[in-house]
Structure 1
C-alpha cells in the first residue's frame, strides 16, 4: 500500500496502463486509443484515470509514461507497432513478483548524485531523516555531498552513500514496489539492514561513522580493483604480482575485487590491460575485507553501540556471511565482520534465489552489481535505480515502471489523479477476440504481393560476446582470420555466437555451382552448436543482390538457404545469415562486427554499412495479364503446370507445349482433352528429361516447336531433407529446378523478347524443416534468374506461398501448414498475381499474419514483413510418469473433462491447440517436467505420444520433434 497516493512518477510523468489477455489485443487497444485521442483530444491524467476505472489488469501489460498527449500517442504508437520506446515498458509475467532490494558497497558514488532526486518528496523525506541522524551523532550533513559539494572526509562520503541508498529504497516503496527481502554488499549492508527494519537508523548511522573513521586511520597506501574473472582465475591472476594482495570480494562467476598495496593494485590493472581482461580501479583507499584489518577489531568494537538485530517482516541477507542475519545477532561483532570478512555476494544472491526472489533492484547512483546478478540469477529480472548517463528522476521512473508492469499484482489504482477527474465519455471499449460458434464460408485467401527490400540500419553500439569462428570449408582462411581478430574470437565450446565462414563466392556456370555446393553442404550442416551457443551465423560473399550489385552468386545463395533450413532442427539456437560483398573491404569487415550484433537473421553489408531484409507490399498492374499465343510449360503435367495450362488456354494462348519427364497419364490426358475442346488451344505434351541436354535436343529436333513467347518453369525440386546431403541427393534436388532451367533457357527456341517465369518457393527465403536441399535448389534458381536478367533475358522468379487444390501434399499436411499462418491461395488468383506483379522476384502468398508471427517467433526469427504481429496465458506434476503429465496438462489446456479424452495419436493442432494454448501448454509442461518444449513442434503436427517421447529423453533433439514445412509442389 502506498503511504500517500502519488499522482505522477518521479519524473513528473503519469503512468498510463493498458492490458489484455493476448498481446495482439494490447496492440488493438493502443490503436483504438490513438484514434480516440485524434478525434477527441483529452489530457493524459483523464485517459489514465478512465483506464484505471474501467479496465482490469490482465496477462499482457504495457505502461506508457507520458507528460502530455504527444508523448502518450508516441508511446501508444510504439505499442501498436511492437517497437521499442524509452517511455514504454511491457510484460507478460503471470507470477506475483518476489522482490529483493540490493545495496552495493562503495565505488559508485560521486558529488551531486542525489541533486536531481531531492525534489522527489519520498526521497527528500528519507534523506532528511538520515541527515538528522548523522547530525545527532555530531557529524557533518551528507546532503551537501548529495547536492554536489565534494568532500574528502570519508565519513561524509560514506554517510552520503548510505543516505542515498536509503532514500532510493524509500522512493521505490513510496511508489508501491516493496521488498520481500534485502541483500547487502559491504557498506551497503547497513542501508539494507535499516531498510529491512532489522536495525534502527541511529545504530546504522553509528556503524557507518565507525567504519569510515577506522578505515581513514589505516596506515599505508592501499587500493582496490574490480576484475572480470572468476574467483579461482583471479587467485591465479594475482599470484605472480609482487607486493601484498588479497581476493576481497566475490560478486559472481566472472566478477571479483582484489585489495592490496596501491602499487600492487596498479600492476594488476596493467596486467589486465595487457591480457585484455576487463578491470577497473575502485575509489577506495583502504584494504577492505582483508586480513590487514584484523588488528583493528577492538578499536572498532569500542566505537559501536551495544545493539541487536530486531525481528522484522523483511529478511536481510548479508554478503559478509553469504546468508541471512538472524534476529538477536550481536550488532557489534557483525559490523566488524562486515569490514573484515571476504564479501560473498555470489552466495548472498544464491540465498535470495533460494527464497524465491524473481526481481532484484539495485539501490545505487550507478548500477555496479547488475552484471554479476544477471550471471548468477539468469532467470530473474534485474533492474537498477538510476545511472550516471541519464537524469536521475527519469531513470528511477523508468525502472519503477518496468518493475511495476512486471508484477501482475501491482496496485496501479493507488495512483491518484491530481484532481477529481470524471471518466471520459465515448471512451473505446476494451477489444476482444471474436469466437465463431457457427459454420461459415471459408474466407477468400487473396494473394498479397511483396517485394524484397534491404533497409540500412545503424550500429546498436554493442559487440558480440564469446564468439567462435569456423572456416568449415578450409577455403576461407584469410576471411576467417580477419573476422576472428575483429571479434576477439575464442574456443568453439564456450561460444555463445558461432560464425561459420562459407567458401569464397566463385563464378562459373550452373554445373560448377552445383558441384561447389555439393562439396561443402555436408560440412556446413555437420557443425553442431555447443551447449552455450545461442546463435549460429553463416557468413557468405555475394549471395544477395542489393541496389546496384551484380546478380547473386549461385553456390553461396544456395548454401545460405540450406543454413536457414538447418536451423529448424535446433530449436534452442537462432540461425542467421550475414552476406558480405564478393570482395569485402576493411570497412565491410568492420561493419560485419556490427551486423553480428543485430537481432535480425538476414543481414547484408554493402559499402561498409549493414542492411536488413524486409518484405513489403508491392503493387499489381490494374490491367489483366496479356497471355501470348505460344507458351511452354515445364513440369507441365504436374499440379501447378496443369493449373498454368488451364489459365493460359482460357486467357488467349493458342499453342501450349507441356514438357514433362513422365508424360501424361490417363487422368491428365482426359483433362487436356476437355481443355482443348473448351478453348480450341493446341496443346502438345512432350516427354523429356530437361536435365539431359541430349534428350532436350532430340525433343527439339523431333517436334520443331515454334519459338516460345512465354516459358513457365514449374518443374519441382525434390524435397530432400538436409540430413541426406549426398551427391545423388543434390542431383535429384537441383536437376529439373536449376540445371533443367539453365538447359531450357539456353537451348529451347524463344523469341528475343520472350518472358521466362520461374516458380520458386518462400522456402528459398526462410527455409523449411527437413527441406534444406529443396530450399537451396529454389534459392539457386532465384539467383540464376538474376543472372538471366543481367544477360538481357526478361526473367522473373516468383517465391510462392501455399496453393489451394494443386499441392501435392496431403490434406492433413496442408491443414497443418495452414495453421502456421500460410493460407492456400486460389490458383487463378495466384497466377494472375504472378503475371501482374511489378517487382522483380516477388513473394506472393496469402497468410494469417497474426498466426504467422507466432511461427516466426517460435523459430527465434524477427518478423520479416512490414505488417503488424501476435501471442498469450499454468501446473504441477512431480513424481508422475511423463505420459500422465502430458495427458493431464493437455486436458486442462484444451478444456477436456478427463486426460483419457486426449487422443495420443492425433496432431495437437487437430485436437484444437492454437498459438495461445500452445504457449500455455509449454509453460505448464516446463513447470511440471523441468524441460523446455519448443513452440514450433506444438503447432506443426506433433502428437501427444511424440511429445511424451521427446520429454522422456535426456534432451530435446531435432529428431524428436516434427517441424512445420512450407511447400507448394
Structure 2
C-alpha cells in the first residue's frame, strides 16, 4: 500500500511542473480519423488515448484542441473537452522520465494470482517489470484501453467493474465487447461503483448487488452466518489519518407475523383476450422426448401465428420445452424413470438460453388436475414441472413458466391455442377442452374452505405411526398427539428418537411410545419391524420422513435425485404396502410449498414433494382417507431440543428473506388435523414480501400494443424518458439529437440495454453517440425490425 501511495505522489509532483497551456478532448471517432484530423489541424496535437473503435482522446495546445473539437462536432460526432492540466500520454512528458523514476519506489511487479493488465501496454504486465519502466510508460505512452479489454477477455474476464467517482469507461468497455468472439452475448456484468448525481451508498449498493446476482457461483449462504466477532482490520490501512464515522447498518430481526395462512390451489378460468397485431416474437421449440408430431404441430402454429416467428433456441425470446413422456403414471416407477433421465442430461435444457430469451415455458401433459373431471396427475410430468419451477430461480433474467395440455395428440386448433396462451405470459397455466374449443386456466391460491376438525376421540389416535419420527417434525407430532390422548405411537426412523424426550412423553401422558431404528426404504427391514410393532394395524400414519440434498440444476445427479425421492416416495409406498393398516386408517403426508412454488437449490427436493402430492391424490382415488399438507417453514429447534430439522440456520434465514416465516409447531399441527378433501398449503408469511417473489415468476403480460404502427416510437420515447429522468414520456422531442437531449456515454449504454430488453432490437453504441436524432433512432430500429420480418424462418423440429 505504501508503494501505491508513493506512485500517486510521484506522478502528481512531476506533472504539476509542466509549463504551457494544454488541454485534452474526448472524441467519438476512430483512431485513423483522429490521426487524419490531427495532421490537418493547426498547432500541436497528439493522439493520447484509444479507448474503443470510435472513442479516442487527443492532447495538445489548448487552441488546437478547441479547433479539433469544433471540427468533430460539425461532422455530427461527439466531442467534449476534458479538464486536465497537462497533455496526458504525449511526447512532452519524455523530459520528466528521470525526475519521475527518482521519486518512484525501487520495486517491481511480482507473480500474483490475479493478473494485472496495463492500460498503456494493453497486455498483462510481466513479473519482474520495474516500477520505473512501467509507471513512466503509463504516463507517457498512448493509452490502448481497447487492447487492454481484449486482453482481459482473452484471459477469461466476463465481468467488468469500473471503480471511479463517475463512470467514464463503461461505454468503451461495452463497445469493445460488442465484437468480441469470446463474448457473443456481451459481458455478464458491466457496472460502475458510483455515479454523479446519485447517493454514493445507493449507487454502490445497487452495483454490488448487480455483480453478485450475475455470478451463479456467488456464496449467498455466507451472508446468513453469524457476524464476525470483533473488528477485522485491513493491515496497514489507512495510510493517513482519517475521520472514523461508523456507516454500516446493523442487522435487525424481521418483524413478527401472526397467524397462519391455509390455502388451496385453485384453477381459474381465464377470460379470452382479443388478439391484436404487434411486433414479431421469436419462439423456439425444444423436445426433451420423442414427440416429433407434437413438436411439428407447435412449429406450424408458430409459423401461422401473426405475431410469432420460429427461430433457433439461441435467438429466441421464448423457448417452448416439451417434457418427455413417462411410461408409468404411478409415483414410484415415475420417480425411477425421472432419476435416470436426469442422469442422461434431462436438466441441461437451460443451456440453450440466449441473450434475447425472456421466458422458458415447459409444456407437459396431464401434470395438473384442473377439476374433478381430470384424471389423477401424471407423477413424472408433475415432478418435472416442479423441477422446472426451481430451475427458474437459477435464471433471474428469464421467467420459467409452465403450460399443461390435456393430451399428446395436438390438433392444429390446440396448437394455436398453445401459442396464444404462452404469449399471455402467465406462470402456471393449463389448457382443457370445452364446448367452444379450448379454455385456458391459471393456477391461483384461494383460502381453504372451512372444514371440521378431526375428532381425536374417535379412535384415530389409538395406533399412530410416525415416519421420520426422530426428526424435528416427527417429534413435534409425537408431542402433540401424546398430549391429546394418543394411546400408542411408533416412531420410525433410521436412528432411534431422543430417548430423554421419549421417556418424558411416556411419563407425562401415559402414552406407549416405541422407537425402533428402521429404514423404511428397505422392504426387508420394514417388514420385520411391521411384524413386531404393527399390532392390529395403524389408525393414523404421519409420513414426515424425507431428506434434502441441495443443489442447482447443473450439479444435480441421478444419485442425488434418488436420495431425495427415497424416503418420501418409496418409503410411503412401502409403508402402505407392508405396514398393517386399519380399514379406516388416515394418512397425513408432510409435503412442502416448494413443490408448488419451487425454490433456489431445491430442484430434486421440490420434485419429491410434488410426487408426494400426486401419491395423495392416487390414494384418495383408491378410496383412502389421505391428505398431503404442503408445509411452509417450520420453527427452528429451540435451545435444548434435538436439532434434526432439514434446514439449518443459514437456510432458514435465506427462506425468510423470500417472505416465508417460521410456523409455531402446535399451531401448524392443529391446522393440519382437519377434514380436508384437497391438499392444503399451510404457512406463515410476510404477505407483501412473498407476493413480490411470486409475481417475479411471471414475465410481462403480452397483450400487444394499442397501435402497432407506434410500437417502436413509443418504446424509444419511453426509454429515452427513463434514462433522462423525464416524468412524462410525451415531453421527449424526438426531433432533437440525442446529444442535445442530454444523452452522454453512460446514458447511451443504458438506453441501448433498455431498448434491447423492451423490443429485442437496438443499434450500436457509436450510432447513439453520433448526431442521431430520436426520429433517426426510430427509423433505424424500424428498418431492422422490417428486415427481421422478411428473414427466412428456421424450423428446428423439421430437420
Q: TM-score, normalised by structure 1?
A: 0.42
Partner of 1:836, secondary structure, is: coil
Task: Write the deviation string for residues 845-897 of structure 1: whole angstroms up to 9, x where unpaired.
Answer: 1111111122234454699xxxxxxxxxxxxxxxxxxxxxxxxxxxxxxxxxx
Q: Which residue of 1 aligns with 2:527?
A: 697
Q: Which residue of 2 aligns with 1:659?
A: 492
Q: Which residue of 1 aligns with 2:432?
A: 606
> For 2:695 and 2:450, how far apart are their aligned partners in 1?
30
Give the one of 562, 566, 587 matched to 1:731. Answer: 562
> For 1:519 and 1:588, how far apart are their aligned partners in 2?
31
Task: Write the deviation string for residues 478-535 of structure 1: whole angstroms up to 9, x where unpaired.
Answer: 2111111112232222110101101124325434212221233353321221111110
Give the one of 511, 524, 527 matched to 2:346. Answer: 524
Q: How does 1:168-183 map to 2 (within 5 A)?
A: none
> For 2:696 and 2:573, how far apart are their aligned partners in 1?
37
**Contact 1:462–1:594 under 8 Å retained in 2:** no
> For 2:318 and 2:254, how far apart are their aligned partners in 1?
48
- The runs of at least 4 consecutive aligned structure 1 residues that moved more than 6 Å come to 321-324, 439-442, 926-933
Shift in Å, 1:566: 0.8
Task: Write the deviation string for residues 929-965 of structure 1: whole angstroms up to 9, x where unpaired.
Answer: 97999xxxxxxxxxxxxxxxxxxxxxxxxxxxxxxxx
**Contact 2:302–2:416 under 8 Å retained in 1:** no
Q: How does 1:271-420 map to 2 (within 5 A)?
A: none
Task: Write the deviation string for residues 135-154 of structure 1: whole angstroms up to 9, x where unpaired.
Answer: xxxxxxxxxxxxxxxxxxxx
Partner of 2:445, secondary structure, is: strand
Are 1:446 and 2:259 counterparts? yes
Q: Which residue of 1 aligns with 2:382?
A: 557
**Contact 2:542–2:589 under 8 Å retained in 1:** yes
> For 1:861 and 1:827, how far apart are their aligned partners in 2?
36
Q: How does 1:644-655 map to 2 (within 5 A)?
A: 644-655=477-488
**Contact 2:470–2:496 under 8 Å retained in 1:** yes
> For 1:322 and 1:588, how far apart are their aligned partners in 2?
54
Q: How does 1:151-230 map to 2 (within 5 A)?
A: none
Partner of 1:487, secondary structure, is: helix
Shift in Å, 1:598: 2.1
Q: Which residue of 2 aligns with 1:479?
A: 294
> For 1:788 and 1:623, how far apart are their aligned partners in 2?
21
Shift in Å, 1:642: 0.2
CA 1:491–1:812: 2 relative to 1, 3 Å: closer
Task: Write the deviation string for residues 671-691 of structure 1: whole angstroms up to 9, x where unpaired.
Answer: 111111111000111211111
> For 1:462 and 1:747, how far apart are their aligned partners in 2?
59
Shift in Å, 1:706: 3.1
CA 1:649–1:731: 2 relative to 1, 3 Å: same
Are 1:767 and 2:621 counterparts? no
CA 1:833–1:577: 2 relative to 1, 3 Å: same
Shift in Å, 1:592: 1.6
> For 2:314 and 2:361, how far apart are their aligned partners in 1?
16
Task: Write the deviation string for residues 541-565 of structure 1: whole angstroms up to 9, x where unpaired.
Answer: 1111111111111111111111111
Q: How does 1:532-931 map to 2 (within 5 A)?
A: 532-547=356-371, 548-586=373-411, 587-607=413-433, 608-621=438-451, 623=453, 626=456, 627-664=460-497, 668-721=498-551, 722-806=553-637, 807-836=645-674, 838-860=676-698
Higher relative contact order (CA 8 A, sep 6+): 2
Q: Which residue of 2 aligns with 1:458?
A: 271
Task: Write the deviation string for residues 14-37 of structure 1: whole angstroms up to 9, x where unpaired.
Answer: xxxxxxxxxxxxxxxxxxxxxxxx
Task: Write the deviation string for residues 310-337 of structure 1: whole angstroms up to 9, x where unpaired.
Answer: xxxxxxxxxxx9999xxxxxxxxxxxxx
Q: How does 1:248-259 map to 2 (within 5 A)?
A: none
**Contact 1:468–1:497 under 8 Å retained in 2:** yes
CA 1:932–1:449: 2 relative to 1, 3 Å: farther
> For 1:440 and 1:769, how far apart are their aligned partners in 2?
23
**Contact 2:547–2:646 under 8 Å retained in 1:** no
Shift in Å, 1:453: 0.5
**Contact 2:401–2:698 under 8 Å retained in 1:** no
Shift in Å, 1:788: 1.1
Structure 2 unaligned spans of 5+: 1-74, 79-249, 304-309, 638-644, 702-745, 754-799
Q: Which residue of 2 aligns with 1:193?
A: none
Q: Which residue of 2 aligns with 1:141?
A: none
> For 1:834 and 1:469, how far apart are their aligned partners in 2?
42
Partner of 1:596, secondary structure, is: helix
> For 2:555 and 2:254, how far apart are their aligned partners in 1?
42
Partner of 2:633, secondary structure, is: coil
> For 1:822 and 1:768, how far apart are their aligned partners in 2?
12
> For 2:608 and 2:748, how far apart are their aligned partners in 1?
43
> For 1:632 and 1:730, how far apart are their aligned partners in 2?
26
Structure 1 unaligned spans of 5+: 1-320, 325-436, 864-925, 934-969
Shift in Å, 1:692: 1.4
Shift in Å, 1:768: 1.0
Shift in Å, 1:646: 0.5
> For 1:559 and 1:592, how far apart are their aligned partners in 2?
19
> For 1:861 and 1:833, how far apart are their aligned partners in 2?
34
**Contact 2:294–2:409 under 8 Å retained in 1:** no
CA 1:859–1:702: 2 relative to 1, 3 Å: same
Shift in Å, 1:793: 1.3
Partner of 1:640, secondary structure, is: helix
> For 2:676 and 2:565, how far apart are their aligned partners in 1?
28
Q: Which residue of 2 aligns with 1:877?
A: none
Q: TM-score, normalised by structure 2?
A: 0.51
**Contact 2:362–2:402 under 8 Å retained in 1:** yes
447-456 vs 457-466, greater mean Cα deviation: 457-466
Task: Write the deviation string for residues 784-809 of structure 1: whole angstroms up to 9, x where unpaired.
Answer: 11111111111111111111134443
> For 1:752 and 1:582, how far apart are their aligned partners in 2?
36
CA 1:740–1:800: 2 relative to 1, 3 Å: same
**Contact 1:618–1:839 under 8 Å retained in 2:** no
> For 2:747 and 2:506, how far apart are their aligned partners in 1?
63
**Contact 2:461–2:486 under 8 Å retained in 1:** yes
> For 1:931 and 1:856, how far apart are their aligned partners in 2?
28
> For 1:441 and 1:497, how far apart are their aligned partners in 2?
37
Q: Which residue of 2 aligns with 1:881?
A: none
CA 1:818–1:718: 2 relative to 1, 3 Å: closer
**Contact 1:713–1:758 under 8 Å retained in 2:** yes
Task: Write the deviation string for residues 880-936 of structure 1: whole angstroms up to 9, x where unpaired.
Answer: xxxxxxxxxxxxxxxxxxxxxxxxxxxxxxxxxxxxxxxxxxxxxx98997999xxx
CA 1:680–1:930: 2 relative to 1, 3 Å: farther
RMSD: 3.1
> For 1:929 and 1:738, how far apart are their aligned partners in 2?
51
**Contact 1:557–1:779 under 8 Å retained in 2:** yes
> For 2:502 and 2:490, how far apart are their aligned partners in 1?
12
